[in-house]
Amino acid sequence: MSAGAAVAPPDPVESVLRWRERACAEPVAALEEAERILATVGRDDELRVLARHVAALACAELGRAEQAHRHARFGLARAVCNDWMGWAAQLRLTLAWIELERGATSASRVQLDEADPHLDAGGRARARCLRGLLHVQTGHHRQAHEHLTTALDDLRVDGDRRWTANALLGRGLAALYLNRPAEAEADLAAAERVFAADGKRLRAAGCRHNRGCVAFRAGDLPRALRLFEQAVAIGLDEAVLPEAMVDRGEALAAAGLTEQARSIMEQAAERLAACGRSGRLAETRLALAGCALRSGDLVEAAAQASAARGLFRGQRRPAWAALAAATTWQANLRAGRYSRFTLAAARRVAAECERYGWTVPAAELRITAGRCAQRAGLRGTARRLFGGCAVPPPDAPPPEKALGHLAEALLAEQDGDPSRLFRACRAGLRQVDEQAAGMAAFELRVHALGLADELGEVAVRAALRVGDPRLVLRWTERSRAAALQRRALRPPSDQRLNSDLVELRAAVQDVPRSTDPKRAVAEVARLEKRVRHRAMLVRGGTDRLGDSGGLAGISADLGDAVLLSLFSHRGRLYATSVVDGATRLHVLGPENCAAQQVVRLRHLLARQACGVASRAEPMFEHGARLAAAELQRSLLAPVLPELERGRRLVVVPTGVLHLLPWAALPACRGRSVTATPSLRCWRSGAERSRDMDPAAPGAWIAGPRLEHAEREVSALHARHGGRLLLESEATCERVLSTLDGAGTVHLAAHGHFRGDQPLLSCLDLADGPLYAHDLDRLHRSPATVVLSACDVGKSAVTRGDQLSGLTTTLLDRGAATVIASVVPIPDDRTAEVMCSLHEALAEGRPPDTALAEAQARHGESGFICVGYGGDR
């Protein structure tokens, strides 16, 4: 080689072409090089065209759609001006990609058509891939799958790894919308491997995120949330891909975190607008409509969905327009706006959704419209609507199968065929139970089992028509508190969740001494949100669904106790009672009247506990007596004669009755009363109580800053022995260690119930709050837990009498009985009740009897016995 050749400068065109190949893997460096060339190259048109192409590719990779579009347009104009049709065709391919990302599907198609005559074989394979991606965007998923499969064959022959991965990604998304989750997962995982091997971290993370979308659509919400989290951890930048925030927001909304989901979607909308991806705002509007629909804001849901539909139609995306129309009709129908015309329109929209692969929204719309048709007396219309989703295909996702069983039950109800109706409801509940079985997180189980309440309601309605009390009792119990019927079998510890809880505790402790209280409170709120999200990602499953054991078994376990199972149907309270093996059905009064009296009674008792003027005290006492007497008449009439003979009561409340202090009712004063979330919960508590070691030591724990607490637990420890933790010793770790496997545990501490986030309800300990989330670390819960703290016996009550709070978390983790207050009680009076309670327990009386005697002796009524309450 000559000296001249050895020092010859590199070909600048070849150098820029190399940067074009590296632009997707190194977008920041490529953009800097392209800008340097554009600033220094002068009038060299060819280099300027190539530099513009490099800049367009880099900006597209960085999510800067408007900048990418501008560079590509400038480069294309210069290439066409110089008649460089090969360069122009390559730029048109890039521009087609950018237009696709911006949601401008028509413009993308125009660029592909213009480029096609000037492409070589490799370019045509890429164009075919882009056409497939265009079909994905516009909702023509079968055509997309065919185009991308053909493109993949050609791209693999050419060894074009980058575009092979793009084609796999597109085909995976097409399979997702065609409801082929296994194919979608395989293609997306393959694309992720190629991107990761080639150093394209952002695109690999995008594939992981899309695998989360597959899991979400298949009904596996815990896995979807974990995959979304992993995608961010391995490099997904939501500032670059804001649409990923929309997907995550939809999953959080499905998990019941509606406000958090709404906040994320609004952020996504801002980022999409800021980075020039306004074409994707339609998806965000539609997701916000779904949030509003879940939270019951039907006006907002209809407005957002209608706006999204207009945007989708402008973008020529009929599949998404159909989904937006379905959401609009859902909102309108639920608001009571329907007629023959609207029901026919809803039926057409459901069929259109099904054609585009939106099978679950189609089934939901048909069921809503069918119910409206029934109310309007249009039986034929209702039959056609229910029939459209009553027989889902065998490979349908679990939610669609459950909805199919619900539709079949509604058809059977219309036909007057109770046997078929009960079969369909049993099948639907099995489907919902199977879906919930893989959810370790209690909050996810609560929301996943929402459809169980609908199925149970249909079955209870049919059982009431049959009039068989045993059948009614069986069906009211089948779907009641279903999340508690499956205990979580989760790992003993999740390190990230534990770390977040420690950080949250420290932040709460810092609030009183912070120089910037507003900032400290905001930090607590941020950490609470993180804890709640992390708790949903815990891996694990649940144990098998417990068997109620049949009515014969229940009667045997009751012994001489009486059972009163309360439930509501169409605004009226009903009850089934079991007395000496005989089951009876009772029609009680309006539900809202009882609910009002419960609220009134709790308010009056709380005011009395806080102290009132002496002249006002008789008025409050009289009001409380009247409310208690009214509740007794409306609730206990079916079993009142038995209670007056001194028999124990096991009551299964419903709705706000879970918050009722039963000892305030005259017939329950001094009587053994156990309030249990469900009969399954009561019977499993009985089994756990029998299995627990009677010699297990007790534990006596006093939290800080609670007057009388140290004296209370010290006296109990001196009398009964066991382990003692006082104030500074009562840290969260030591308390959890003490609780694990103990016999009877007494916790005297300040308590806080959180109606907005029940699993953040807590007890104040030396190093900060002990949350309900912390209790998930227990291997073996105590047999009996006494919470000597105000209000922590309360639970948040949602559909299907699903309960959430400290008390129910302890039951979920295996405690047989929990004694706690549902109204405030002064600390000095609490200590007296607790000493009497534990004296009775030590003498061998069961928890419900011990509590009844202790409260009667001291004139209190604010504590309730929850769970089992009976003998071991």
Per-residue pLDDT at 241: 80
Most confident among 316-320, 683-687, 796-800, 865-869 (mean pLDDT): 865-869
Residues 6 or more apart whose CB falls under 8 angstroms from that of 426 comprise: none
When pLDDT is cut at 50, 70 and 90, the band that residue 162 belongs to is: confident
Q: Which of 60, 24, 26, 53 is nearest to 37 (CA)?
A: 53
Residues 634 and 718 in one domain: no
**Residues 45-69: pLDDT tens digits?**
888 888 899 999 888 888 788 889 9
The one-character DSSP state at 789 is S
Examine residue 278 and state whether it is found in any structural domain, yes or no.
no
Pairing of strands 649-652, 673-675: parallel
User: What is the C-alpha to C-alpha distance for residues 272 and 382, in angstroms, rounded to an integer?
Assistant: 41
Contact 794, 675 (CB under 8 A): no
User: What is the C-alpha to C-alpha distance for residues 228 and 252, in angstroms, rounded to an integer?
Assistant: 11
In this structure, what token pair is assigned to residue 16?
Answer: 């820029």
| Distance in angstroms between the alpha carbons of the first and the last residue of the chain | 96
Whether the per-residue pLDDT at 201 is higher than 60: the answer is yes
CATH number for the domain harbouring residue 390 = 1.25.40
Q: Specify which residues 863 forms β-bridges with.
A: 821
What percent of the chain shows pLDDT beyond 90?
Answer: 44
The dihedral sign for the CA sequence 125, 126, 129, 131 = negative
Q: Which of 282, 362, 375, 306 is nearest to 334 (CA)?
A: 375
- Average pLDDT estimate for 348-361: 92
Per-residue pLDDT at 1: 37
Residues 6 or more apart whose CB falls under 8 angstroms from that of 408 comprise: 386, 390, 391, 420, 424
Whether the per-residue pLDDT at 322 is higher than 90: the answer is yes
- Average pLDDT estimate for 550-556: 73
Whole-angstrom CA distances from 694 to 689, 783, 830, 851 are: 9, 9, 26, 19
CA angle 11/16/20 to nearest 5° reads 145
Residues 171 and 291 in one domain: no
**Residues 657-669: pLDDT tens digits?**
999 999 999 999 9
Residue indicated by tokens 């957002």: 304
Contact 708, 831 (CB under 8 A): yes
The type of residue at 509 is: Q
When pLDDT is cut at 50, 70 and 90, the band that residue 548 belongs to is: low
- Average pLDDT estimate for 569-575: 93
Examine residue 621 and state whether it is found in any structural domain, yes or no.
yes
Examine residue 271 and state whether it is found in any structural domain, yes or no.
no
Contact 800, 829 (CB under 8 A): no
- Average pLDDT estimate for 466-480: 91
Per-residue pLDDT at 490: 56
Looking at 671, 690, 719, which one is the last position of a domain? 671
**Residues 730-760: pLDDT tens digits?**
999 999 999 988 889 999 998 888 888 888 9
Per-residue pLDDT at 768: 92
Per-residue pLDDT at 493: 60
**Residues 685-694: pLDDT tens digits?**
888 888 777 7
- Average pLDDT estimate for 332-339: 92
Looking at 537, 567, 602, which one is the last position of a domain? 537
Residues 647 and 664 in one domain: yes
Contact 286, 325 (CB under 8 A): no
**Residues 588-639: pLDDT tens digits?**
999 999 999 999 999 898 887 777 667 777 888 889 899 999 999 999 999 9
Per-residue pLDDT at 7: 43
**Residue 133's domain spans which residues?**
12-234
User: What is the C-alpha to C-alpha distance for residues 38 and 52, in angstroms, rounded to an integer?
Assistant: 8
Per-residue pLDDT at 483: 64
User: What is the C-alpha to C-alpha distance for residues 775 and 740, in angstroms, rounded to an integer?
Assistant: 10
Whether the per-residue pLDDT at 824 is higher than 80: the answer is yes
Helix or strand run (H / E) with residue 66: helix 65-81
Question: How many angstroms from the chain centroid is the CA of residue 471?
Answer: 32
Examine residue 266 and state whether it is found in any structural domain, yes or no.
no
The one-character DSSP state at 234 is T
User: What is the C-alpha to C-alpha distance for residues 271 and 619, in angstroms, rounded to an integer?
Assistant: 59
User: What is the C-alpha to C-alpha distance for residues 205 and 421, in angstroms, rounded to an integer?
Assistant: 46
CATH number for the domain harbouring residue 23 = 1.25.40.10
Residues 6 or more apart whose CB falls under 8 angstroms from that of 7 comprise: none
The dihedral sign for the CA sequence 402, 408, 410, 413 = negative
User: What is the C-alpha to C-alpha distance for residues 274 and 277, in angstroms, rounded to an integer?
Assistant: 8
In this structure, what token pair is assigned to residue 508?
Answer: 């709460």
Residues 97 and 150 in one domain: yes
Helix or strand run (H / E) with residue 233: helix 221-233
Per-residue pLDDT at 866: 95
Whole-angstrom CA distances from 336 to 299, 372, 410, 485 are: 12, 8, 19, 35
Per-residue pLDDT at 4: 38
Count the neighbouring beta carbons within 10 Å of the beta carbon of residue 423: 15
The type of residue at 609 is: A
The type of residue at 361 is: P
Per-residue pLDDT at 489: 59
3-class SS at 484? Answer: helix
CATH number for the domain harbouring residue 593 = 3.30.420
Looking at 234, 253, 276, which one is the last position of a domain? 234
Q: Which of 103, 153, 82, 100 is nearest to 124 (CA)?
A: 153
Examine residue 250 and state whether it is found in any structural domain, yes or no.
no
Mean pLDDT (the chain) is 87
What percent of the chain shows pLDDT beyond 70?
Answer: 95
**Residues 360-378: pLDDT tens digits?**
999 999 999 999 999 999 9
Contact 96, 112 (CB under 8 A): yes
- Average pLDDT estimate for 268-276: 79
Residues 52 and 121 in one domain: yes
Q: Which of 791, 697, 794, 712 is nearest to 747 (CA)?
A: 712
CA angle 772/778/783 to nearest 5° reads 95
3-class SS at 664? Answer: helix
Examine residue 30 and state whether it is found in any structural domain, yes or no.
yes
DSSP assignment of 358-403 equals -HHHHHHHHHHHHHHHHHTT-HHHHHHHHHTTSS--TT--HHHHHH
In this structure, what token pair is assigned to residue 27?
Answer: 């977008």
The dihedral sign for the CA sequence 547, 819, 860, 602 = negative
Per-residue pLDDT at 5: 39
Q: Dihedral of the CA atoms 59, 64, 67, 73 (nearest 10)?
A: 70
User: What is the C-alpha to C-alpha distance for residues 793 and 797, in angstroms, rounded to an integer?
Assistant: 12
Per-residue pLDDT at 628: 93
Examine residue 350 and state whether it is found in any structural domain, yes or no.
yes
Of residues 545 and 529, which shows the higher confidence score?
529
| Entry pTM | 0.82
When pLDDT is cut at 50, 70 and 90, the band that residue 171 belongs to is: very high
Helix or strand run (H / E) with residue 864: strand 863-867
Residues 500 and 613 in one domain: no
Whether the per-residue pLDDT at 2 is higher than 50: the answer is no
Whether the per-residue pLDDT at 705 is higher than 90: the answer is no
Residues 638 and 725 in one domain: no
User: What is the C-alpha to C-alpha distance for residues 339 and 477, in angstroms, rounded to an integer?
Assistant: 36
Residues 649 and 526 in one domain: no
Examine residue 69 and state whether it is found in any structural domain, yes or no.
yes
SS (H, E, C) 463-478: HHHHCCHHHHHHHHHH
Q: At what angle do helices 243-254 and 281-294 cross, to 10 degrees?
A: 10
3-class SS at 479? Answer: helix
Residues 791 and 769 in one domain: yes
Whether the per-residue pLDDT at 852 is higher than 80: the answer is yes
Per-residue pLDDT at 278: 65
**Residues 84-126: pLDDT tens digits?**
998 899 899 989 988 887 778 888 899 999 988 888 888 888 8
- Average pLDDT estimate for 762-780: 90
User: What is the C-alpha to C-alpha distance for residues 850 and 735, in angstroms, rounded to an integer?
Assistant: 25
Whole-angstrom CA distances from 409 to 430, 432, 474, 525, 838 are: 14, 15, 17, 44, 50
User: What is the C-alpha to C-alpha distance for residues 375 and 330, in angstroms, rounded to an integer?
Assistant: 16
User: What is the C-alpha to C-alpha distance for residues 370 and 313, in angstroms, rounded to an integer?
Assistant: 27
Residues 6 or more apart whose CB falls under 8 angstroms from that of 189 comprise: 207, 211
Whether the per-residue pLDDT at 817 is higher than 90: the answer is yes
- Average pLDDT estimate for 479-501: 71
Helix or strand run (H / E) with residue 582: strand 582-590
Residues 628 and 696 in one domain: no
In this structure, what token pair is assigned to residue 362?
Answer: 């189609």
Per-residue pLDDT at 484: 67
Residues 341 and 407 in one domain: yes
Q: Dihedral of the CA atoms 548, 549, 555, 558 (nearest 10)?
A: -60
Residues 647 and 765 in one domain: no
* Structural domains in the chain (count): 5
User: What is the C-alpha to C-alpha distance for residues 463 and 298, in angstroms, rounded to an integer?
Assistant: 32
Count the neighbouring beta carbons within 10 Å of the beta carbon of residue 342: 15
Residues 6 or more apart whose CB falls under 8 angstroms from that of 348 comprise: none
